[in-house]
Structure 1
Amino acid sequence: MTQAKRETCEPDPTAMPAAESPSVLLDDGTGASLPVPRRSPRLTTQAPAGSGLAPGAALSSWRMAAASALAVEKDRGLAFLFLPVAMGAGAGLFYMSPANPALLFLVAALLAALLVASFARRHHRGAALVAGYTAAICIGALAAALETSRGAILLDSDVTTTISGTVEAREFDAAGRVRYLIRLNATSGPEIRRPPSRVRLTARSPHDAIAVGAAISGRARLTAPSGPVMPGGYDFAFRAFVDGIGAHGYFFRAPEQTEQQPEQASAMARLFQAFSDGLRQIRERISKRIRTVLQGDPGAIAAALAVSDRRGISAPTVEALRATGLAHILAISGLHMALAAGTLYIGIRKGLALFPGLAEAWPVKKLAASGAMMTATAYLLISGGSVSTQRAWVMLTVMLVAVLADRAALTMRNVALAAIVIILVSPSAVVGPGFQMSFAATAALIAAYAALSGRARKARSAQSMTRTRSRLVRGLIFALKALLGLAITSLVAGLATGLFSAHHFHRLAGAGLLANLLAMPLVTLVVMPAGLVAMLLMPLGLDVWPLLVMGQGLESVVAVANGVHALGGDVNVGRMPLPATLAAGAGFVILVFLRSWLRLAGLVMIGLGLALATPPLAGQPPDILVSEKGNLVALAGPSGLASNAARPPSFVFGQWQTALRGAAHLPPVAVRAATPGQAAGPAPLPNAGILDRLISSAELQTSRFHCAGRGICAAVHSGVRIVAIDQAALIGAACDRTDLVVISIPVYLDACRSGATLVTARTLRRTGSLAITVKDGAAANGDPIPGEGNTSEDSIRRPDFQIEAALKGVIRPWTMQRYYDWRTGTFDLPD
Structure 2
Amino acid sequence: MRMWLTAAAMVAGCWLGVLWPLLVLCAVAVVGMWRYRSRWLVWLVLGYGFGVWQLHQGLAQRLPAEHDRAVLSLQGQVRDIPVTRREFRFGRWQVRQQIHLTVWGSEAWPGTHRVVLNSYAPSVLLSAGDRVALDAELKVPRGVYNRFGPDRARADLAAGVDARGKLERVSVIANHGGVDAWREALSSQVAASVSGSPFGKAVLPALVVGDRAGLSSSLWRTFQLTGGAHLLAISGLHIAIVAGWFWWLGRALLAPVLQGVVPGLRRYSLQQLAWLPALLGAMGYAALAGFSLPTMRALVMLIVVAVAQWWRVPVSLWRALGMALLVVLLITPLAALSASLWLSFGAVACIAMLTRSHAPWRLMLLLPVVMAVAGAVLFQQWTPSAPLANLILVPLYTLLVIPAALLGTLLQQPWLLGAAATGVEFSVWVMMWLANLGVPSWLRLPSMPAGIVLMIGVMLLLMPFLPFP
User: If the TM-score is normalised by the length of the shorter chain, which range does it land in?
Assistant: 0.7 to 0.9
TM superposition score normalised by structure 1: 0.48
Q: Which has the higher helix share?
A: 2
Q: 1:313 to 1:148 in 2, by over 3 A?
A: same
Query: SS state of the match for residue 173, structure 1?
Result: strand
SS in 2 for 1:256: strand
Once the two structures are TM-superposed, the CA of residue 517 in structure 1 deviates from its matched residue by 1.0
User: Which blocks of at least 5 consecutive residues in structure 1 are unaligned?
Assistant: 1-78, 122-127, 261-273, 454-480, 604-831
Matched, 1:205 2:133: no
1:491 aligned residue (369, 388, 392): 369
Tell me the residue number matched to 1:406: 312
Instruction: Note if contact 1:530-1:549 (Cα within 8 Å) is conserved in structure 2.
Output: yes
Q: How far did 1:139 drift?
A: 4.7
Q: What is the rounded CA distance, in whole Å, between the counterparts of 2:171 and 2:274 in structure 1?
A: 49
Task: Give the direction of change, closer, same or farther, for the CA distance of 1:417–1:198 in structure 2 (3 Å limit).
Answer: closer
In 2 relative to 1, CA 425–105 (structure 1 residues): closer, same or farther, beyond 3 Å?
Answer: farther
Percent of paired sites with the same residue: 24
- 1:315 Cα deviation after fit: 0.7
Equivalence map 1:6-21=2 (5 Å): none
Which segment drifts farther, 544-553 or 229-238? 229-238
**Pair 1:529 & 2:444 matched:** no
1:345-382 C-alpha deviation (Å, 9 max, x unpaired): 11122224776983997343222211111121222233
CA distance in 1, matches of 2:231, 2:424: 10
- Report the CA distance between 1:204 and its aligned residue: 2.9
**Pair 1:282 & 2:174 matched:** no
Distance 2:458 2:43 in 1: 17
1:548 & 1:205 partners in 2: Cα distance?
34
User: 8 Å contact 1:394–1:418 — kept in the other structure?
Assistant: yes
Are 2:18 and 1:100 equivalent residues in the alignment? yes
Aligned mate of 1:575, from 446, 450, 460: 446
Question: Structure 2 residue aligned with 1:228, among 144, 151, 160?
Answer: 144
Match of 1:154 among 56, 59, 63: 63
Superposed, 1:389-468 pairs within 5 Å as 389-407=295-313, 411-452=317-358
Task: For 1:581 and 1:290, locate their aligned partners in 2 and report how far apart those are by CA, in whole Å.
Answer: 36
Write the distance in 2 (CA, Å) between the matches of 1:231 and 1:89.
Answer: 26
State the distance in 2 between where 1:555 and 1:139 align.
Answer: 52
Q: Equivalent residue for 1:373?
A: 279
Q: Distance in 1 between matches of 2:222 and 2:31?
A: 50
Match of 2:428 among 558, 565, 575: 558
For 2:157, the aligned partner's letter is F
Deviation at 1:452? 3.2
2 CA distance for matches of 1:380 and 1:165? 28
Q: What one-letter code is carried by the residue in structure 1 that aligns with 2:103?
A: L
Deviation at 1:331, TM superposition (A): 1.4
Matched, 1:181 2:181: no
Deviation of residue 526 (structure 1)? Answer: 0.7
* AA partner of residue 101 (structure 2): I
Deviations 1:574-615 (A, max 9, x none): 53385x678x489779969x9996x55xx9xxxxxxxxxxxx
Distance 1:571 1:307 in 2: 30
- 1:354 to 1:380, Cα distance in 2 relative to 1, 3 A: closer
Q: Secondary structure at the match of 2:353?
A: helix
Identify the residue that residue 90 of structure 2 maps to in structure 1. none
Structure 1 stretch displaced more, 440-449 or 176-185:
176-185
Q: Return closer, same or farther for 1:231/1:375 CA change in 2, 3 Å cut-off.
A: same
Check 1:448–1:109 CA distance in 2 against 1; reply closer, same or farther (3 A cut): farther
The structure with higher relative contact order (CA 8 Å, sep 6+) is 2
* Matching residue of 2:51: 144
For residue 309 of structure 1, the aligned residue among 186, 211, 231 is: 211
In the alignment, is residue 548 of structure 1 matched against residue 418 of structure 2? Answer: yes
> Which residues of structure 2 form unaligned runs of 5+?
87-94
Q: Which residue matches 1:520?
A: 394
- 1:510 aligned onto 2:384: yes
| Alignment-mate amino acid for residue 141 of structure 1 | Y
Query: Compared with structure 1, are the counterparts of its residues 388 and 143 closer, same or farther at alpha carbon in structure 2 (3 Å cutoff)?
Result: farther
Cα distance change on mapping 1:91 and 1:510 into 2, 3 Å = farther
AA at the equivalent of 1:144: G
Cα RMSD (Å): 3.8
Specify whether residues 573 and 590 from structure 1 end up closer, same or farther in structure 2 by C-alpha distance, changes over 3 A only. closer
State how far apart, in whole Å, the 1-side matches of 2:164 and 2:330 are.
29
Q: Deviations over 1:224-255 (max 9, x none)?
A: 322133258643213323433222223356x3
Q: Distance in 1 between matches of 2:430 and 2:98?
A: 30
